[in-house]
Amino acid sequence: MSRLRLLSAAALLAVAANASASSFIVTTDSIVGALKATSDATSDVSSSFRDNKIVQAARDDAASFVASEGAIRGAKLESAFAYIRQQAPQLGASDAQLAQAILVI
């Protein structure tokens, strides 16, 4: 009977190890996908609005927004968000992605 328990424990351990590996792969894929989306949004915004005065004026507010994780929202940044979303409604970027893109330009 102890041999049966040993085989059962080994099978259970193999199944658990496989589940952990699958979970790690799914998590890694999710993180990579999110980073790619942020990178795509950043490059779209930075190339389109590099010379825009409204966007340039929002850099300090964008830095405060990013540093405070969205708690500080300046008037110039809100204006830049509105302008960017009006000019590029297909972008679909979050406020955090837009603020990071403004900092990159």
* Domain boundaries of the chain, sorted by first residue: 2-104
Residue-level pLDDT at 101: 87
Residue-level pLDDT at 51: 79
Q: Which amino acid is at 75?
A: A
pLDDT band (50, 70, 90) for residue 19: low
Residue-level pLDDT at 8: 63
Could you read off the pLDDT of 21-43 as tens digits, one per residue? Answer: 445 555 556 665 655 665 555 55
Residue 37 falls in which region: left (phi positive, over 0), alpha (psi -120 to 50) or beta: alpha
- In 15-103, beta strands by DSSP E: none
Q: Read off the pTM.
A: 0.55
Give CA–CA dist 49/80, Å, rounded.
10
**CB of 3 within 8 A of CB of 63?**
no
